[in-house]
């Protein structure tokens, strides 16, 4: 935490008044926040709360890729086989996508990056174009991940994420929930291997840069959210 404080104080000029969030979070640091963790850790579930707290728009590379697949774009056609197999899409494909997104006006004070970066190459490329002020690492053991992924469902109208057991959809939504094609036990094993081999080493990479914030994600949704909120309040100095 010490190095983060230094970074925040050192970036005093970059602090801005934050117009949307609760009064307690009066200031937020300019720069992007990364949501990091294995597939199914709860990144998407926590993103809405963090986004409304910080005002940073949520950008999920998984959602961007699924949209590309659904519209049969060149990008989608290239990405689909990797996604269906539970493999990461090639770095050069995803790096271009995020670089373009960061140039849009609403990205000026930073984005909430959900699922990006996932390799050291992606992180090195991001470092050249964007300041990352915090990496929220949601930590969940593998056996809990499999249960979460297999039971995940999405509201086909709103995109809201549910779980058949841990966060069941309300009655009026239950008929229209869908399951992602890659959310099956076989693919989740490949995704977990990809995570451990290619993504997990990033935790140390970001820890070395003093921005990694570890959160115990093996608890209820609200408890995890409360912990994230509290570390973000500390980071912004709004808890002082």
Q: Give the nearest distance from C-beta 158 to ligand ADP in angstroms.
A: 14
Cα 94 from Cα 78, distance rounded (Å): 11
**Part of the chain binding ligand ADP (CB under 6 A), chosen from 9-17, 26-34, 87-95, 104-112:** 87-95
Among residues 76, 206, 197, 205, the alpha carbon closest in space to that of 136 is found at: 206
Q: Give the nearest distance from C-beta 6 to ligand ADP in angstroms.
A: 29
Site residues for ligand ADP, 93-122, by CB under 6 A, read 94, 115-118, 122
Q: Is 20 exposed, middle or buried (0-12, 13-18, 19+ CB in 10 A)?
A: exposed
| Edge-to-edge order in the sheet of strand 32-36 | 58-60, 112-114, 32-36, 132-139, 212-216
Q: Give the nearest distance from C-beta 186 to ligand ADP in angstroms.
A: 13
Does 32 interact with ligand ADP (rule: CB under 6 A)? no
Residue 185: CA count within 13 A, CB half-sphere: 2
Phi-psi region of 145 (alpha: psi -120 to 50; beta: other; left: phi over 0): alpha
Q: Is 43 a catalytic residue?
A: yes
Q: Is 152 a catalytic residue?
A: yes
Q: Give the nearest distance from C-beta 234 to ligand ADP in angstroms.
A: 21
Site residues for ligand ADP, 143-182, by CB under 6 A, read 148, 151-152, 161-163, 166-167
Contact 153, 169 (CB under 8 A): yes
Q: Is 180 a catalytic residue?
A: yes
Residue with tokens 């539970």: 86
User: Which member of 53, 65, 112, 177 binds ligand ADP (CB under 6 A)?
Assistant: 65
Q: Is 153 a catalytic residue?
A: no
Q: Give the rounded distance of the alpha carbon of 198 from its chain centre.
A: 16
Does 39 interact with ligand ADP (rule: CB under 6 A)? yes
Where along the sequence are the contacts to ligand ADP (CB under 6 A)? 37, 39-45, 61-62, 65, 82-83, 86-89, 94, 115-118, 122, 148, 151-152, 161-163, 166-167, 191, 220-221, 224
């Amino acid at each position: 935490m010490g190095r983060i404080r230094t970074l925040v104080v050192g970036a005093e000029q970059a602090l801005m008044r934050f117009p949307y969030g609760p009064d307690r979070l009066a200031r937020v640091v300019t720069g992007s926040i990364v949501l990091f963790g294995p597939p199914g850790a709860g990144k998407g579930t926590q993103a809405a709360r963090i986004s409304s707290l910080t005002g940073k728009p949520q950008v999920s590379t998984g959602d961007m890729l699924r949209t590309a697949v659904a519209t049969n774009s060149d990008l989608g056609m290239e990405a689909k086989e990797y996604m269906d197999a539970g493999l990461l899409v090639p770095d050069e494909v995803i790096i271009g996508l995020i670089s373009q997104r960061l140039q849009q006006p609403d990205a000026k004070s930073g984005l909430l990056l959900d699922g990006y970066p996932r390799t050291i190459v992606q992180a090195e490329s991001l470092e050249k174009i964007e300041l990352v002020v915090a990496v929220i690492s949601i930590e969940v053991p593998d056996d809990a991940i499999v249960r979460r992924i297999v039971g995940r469902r999405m509201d086909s109208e709103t995109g809201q994420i549910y779980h058949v057991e841990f966060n069941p959809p309300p009655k009026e939504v239950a008929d229209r929930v869908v399951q992602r094609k890659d959310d099956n036990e076989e693919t989740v094993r490949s995704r977990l291997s990809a995570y451990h081999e290619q993504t997990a080493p990033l935790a140390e990479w970001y820890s070395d840069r003093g921005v990694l914030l570890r959160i115990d994600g093996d608890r209820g949704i609200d408890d995890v959210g409360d912990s994230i909120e509290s570390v973000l309040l500390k980071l912004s100095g709004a808890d002082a």
